[in-house]
């Protein structure tokens, strides 16, 4: 996800106001030459905590003894982060000096998402809704972080993952949650301190009923601020007490993805995967690829896809437990062609195909939207060109695919393409004065709607637009 104005303004404001910052996957260095510095291959094994508060028997209030010594050896309990949150309890599995809040039961979860008509600046008087804000916010910051994730559970049922920001004193907080778009909140976690110093809670990535996200920051063995310790935590979407999956002495913010069979991390140097019951292991490195960066890992059940690329070359690699790593769509020795933004719903695959790029580092002359029936075997791919793509062919995010349609940010709005015939629509950005309403990356497509990352000025949100409100489409070219 590209850094938007909302994220940059939000981080700056929080630093100036000493209210803190939440670190989201959107700001990770997943596509450059930075690598995760791990304490070993795939990080350390998960901690031996119970995953339900990390309490230790024999200590007062069930608190861990690793921070229990004060002057004269008197017991000093770690800070309690949940005052004012009835029914919430401390989660400190990562470190006792890094407590977060989790619901003690589902009854403590917040109310479901409510939706309201898109702002008039969107230029869509009907068929467009955004999430409604029902919590106190700072007007200069905005109510949400700028990173979202979605999982299409059924043809017209979507789960969403996002972070609510309430940085209003005297009780600022960041709430990270997973909720059905039209149903209950499934799980949530709160940083009730919202400070610049300390531990930070990231956005969750969700797919196929599982969630994975990371926390990083201070521990009893504090590291330099530019390389704090961290951990990947997660579990099923409805789990109220996430478990630690792996942890590092230093953590540089790799991208995280998940599905029901595996979860994984990626940065420029390597792809790492783990079964939910096993350790995180390196499966492919930039060294294996002759120096190409390994980025944009995308999991679909037992299949892993990612881009192997640099500024002049781009191909897609694949992995399954049965076959290991293998080329999926590659063009060895031919930098004039490239593949980007591979997405799938398990029925169709959609990607961008660039052609006619010169030997330098310029853009592709042609950029096309391609599709094929889903397959794990590259020999069974049946590529079909749908139409041209108006944006930069070297896009980062994958296509959102669902119910015979695919959607992607096209620069001037969100493009929706019908896969049967290449007819397309662009949900165009709205008015530019006094603010700018934009439709950007698509995060999910159902049979009725497309869910889109939106901005109103510098304020991020999730928009949902009805397909039947888009009007007549544009024939393919």
13: enclosing H helix or E strand: helix 5-17
Three-class SS state of 326: strand
Q: Are 246 and 45 in contact (CB under 8 A)?
A: yes
Residue among 359, 364, 267, 259 nearest 307 (CA): 267
Report, as an integer, the average pLDDT of 381-406.
94
Please state, in angstroms and rounded to a whole number, the distance separating the CA atoms of residues 429 and 410. 10
Residue 18 exposed, middle or buried by CB count within 10 Å (0-12, 13-18, 19+): exposed
Contact of 304 with 320, CB cutoff 8 Å: yes
Model confidence band, residue 392 (pLDDT cutoffs 50, 70, 90): confident
- Categorize the per-residue pLDDT at 33 as very low, low, confident or very high, splitting at 50, 70 and 90: very low
Q: What SS3 class is residue 121?
A: helix
pLDDT over 50 at 161, yes or no: yes
**Strand extents, DSSP E, 1-148:** 88-91, 100-103, 115-117, 128-131
Separation of alpha carbons 400 and 395, rounded Å: 13
Q: Which pLDDT belongs to residue 199?
A: 80
Those residues whose C-beta lies under 8 Å from the C-beta of residue 83, and which sit 6 or more positions away, are: 192
Considering only the C-alpha atoms of the chain, give the largest distance between any 2 of them, rounded to a whole number of Å. Answer: 78
| pLDDT-derived band at 74, boundaries 50, 70, 90 | low
- Residue 217 pLDDT grade (very low, low, confident, very high; cuts 50, 70, 90): confident
**Paired tokens of 174:** 């960041």
| 192 or 57, which is more confident | 192
Q: Can you tell me the distance from the alpha carbon of 268 to that of 258, in angstroms, rounded to the nearest whole number? A: 18
pLDDT exceeds cutoff 80 at 197: no
Radius of gyration of the chain (CA): 22
- Among residues 442, 396, 367, 146, the alpha carbon closest in space to that of 295 is found at 396
**Could you give the CA distance from residue 207 to residue 220 in angstroms, rounded to a whole number?**
33
Average pLDDT over residues 161-188: 92
Q: Quote the CA–CA distance of 382 and 350 in Å, as a whole number.
A: 11
Q: In the chain, what percentage of residues exceed pLDDT 90?
A: 59
Q: Can you tell me the mean pLDDT for 112-133?
A: 94
Q: Taking 50 as the threshold, does the pLDDT of residue 121 lie above it?
A: yes
Going by pLDDT thresholds of 50, 70 and 90, the confidence category of residue 39 is very low
Would you state the pLDDT for residue 221?
52
* C-alpha of 197 from chain center: 23
pLDDT over 60 (residue 366): yes
pLDDT of 124 strictly over 80: yes
- Looking at residue 297, its pLDDT comes to 96
Residues in the chain: 477
Mean pLDDT value of segment 357-372: 88
The mean pLDDT of 128-155, rounded to a whole number, is 90
Q: Which CATH number fits domain 5-469: 1.10.8, 2.50.20, 2.30.230, 2.130.10?
A: 2.130.10
Which pLDDT score is estimated for 258? 96
Sign (positive or negative) of CA dihedral 58, 62, 67, 73: negative
User: Which of 219 and 113 is assigned the larger pLDDT?
Assistant: 113
- Following DSSP, what letter does each residue of 29-50 receive, concatenated? -TTSS-----SSTT-BPPPSS-
For residue 11, is pLDDT > 50? Answer: no
- Per the model's pLDDT, the better-predicted residue between 421 and 434 turns out to be 421
Compute, in degrees rounded to 10, the torsion defined by CA atoms 233, 238, 239, 244. -10
**pLDDT at site 34:** 32
Least confident of 62-76, 117-131, 421-435: 62-76
Q: Are 3 and 27 in contact (CB under 8 A)?
A: yes
Question: Which of 20-24, 150-154, 338-342 shows the lowest mean pLDDT across its residues?
Answer: 20-24
> How does the average pLDDT of the chain come out, rounded?
82
Measured CA to CA, the distance from residue 131 to residue 129 in angstroms comes to 7
Q: Look at residue 6 in the predicted model and tell me its pLDDT.
A: 34
The residue with greater pLDDT, 435 or 25, is 435
Task: Over range 321-335, report the average pLDDT.
Answer: 95
């Amino acid at each position: 996800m590209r850094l938007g104005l909302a994220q940059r303004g939000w981080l700056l404001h929080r630093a100036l106001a000493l209210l803190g910052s939440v670190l989201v996957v959107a700001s990770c260095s997943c596509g450059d030459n930075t690598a995760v510095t791990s304490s070993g291959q795939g990080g350390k094994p998960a901690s031996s905590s119970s995953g339900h508060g990390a309490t230790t028997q024999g200590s007062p209030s069930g608190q861990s003894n690793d921070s229990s010594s004060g002057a004269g050896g008197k017991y000093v309990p770690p800070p309690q982060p949940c005052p004012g949150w009835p029914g919430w309890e401390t989660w400190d599995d990562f470190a006792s000096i890094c407590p977060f809040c989790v619901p003690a039961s589902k009854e403590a979860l917040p109310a479901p998402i409510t939706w309201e008509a898109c702002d008039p600046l969107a230029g869509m008087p009907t068929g467009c809704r955004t999430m409604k804000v029902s919590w106190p916010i700072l007007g200069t910051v905005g109510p949400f972080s700028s990173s979202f994730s979605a999982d299409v559970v059924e043809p017209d049922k979507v789960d969403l993952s996002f972070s609510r920001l309430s940085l209003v004193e005297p009780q600022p907080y960041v709430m990270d949650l997973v909720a059905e778009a039209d149903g209950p909140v499934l799980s949530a976690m709160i940083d009730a301190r919202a400070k610049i110093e300390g531990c930070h809670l990231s956005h969750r990535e969700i797919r196929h009923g599982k969630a994975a996200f990371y926390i990083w920051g201070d521990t009893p063995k504090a590291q330099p601020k530019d390389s704090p310790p961290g951990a990947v935590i997660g579990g099923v979407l409805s789990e109220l007490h996430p478990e630690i999956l792996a942890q590092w002495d230093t953590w540089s913010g790799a991208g995280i993805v998940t599905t029901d069979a595996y979860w994984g991390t990626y940065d420029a140097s390597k792809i790492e995967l783990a079964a939910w019951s096993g350790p995180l292991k390196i499966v492919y490195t930039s060294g294996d690829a002759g120096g190409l960066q390994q980025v944009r890992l995308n999991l679909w059940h037992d299949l892993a896809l990612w881009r192997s690329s640099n500024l002049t070359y781009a191909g897609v690699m694949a992995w399954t437990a049965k076959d290991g790593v293998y080329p999926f769509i590659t063009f060895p020795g031919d930098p004039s062609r490239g593949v980007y933004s591979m997405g799938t719903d398990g029925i169709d695959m959609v990607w961008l195909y660039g052609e006619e790029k010169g030997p330098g580092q310029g853009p592709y002359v042609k950029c096309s939207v391609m599709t094929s029936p889903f397959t794990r075997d590259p020999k069974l791919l049946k590529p079909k060109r749908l139409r041209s793509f108006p944006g930069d062919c070297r896009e980062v995010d994958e296509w959102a695919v669902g119910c015979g349609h695919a959607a992607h940010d096209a620069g001037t709005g969100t493009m929706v393409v019908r896969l049967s015939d290449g007819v397309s629509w662009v949900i165009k950005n709205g008015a530019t004065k006094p603010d700018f309403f934009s439709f950007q990356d698509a995060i999910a497509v159902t049979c009725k709607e497309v869910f889109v990352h939106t901005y109103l000025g510098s304020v991020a949100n999730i928009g949902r637009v009805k397909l039947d409100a888009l009007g007549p489409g544009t024939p393919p070219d």
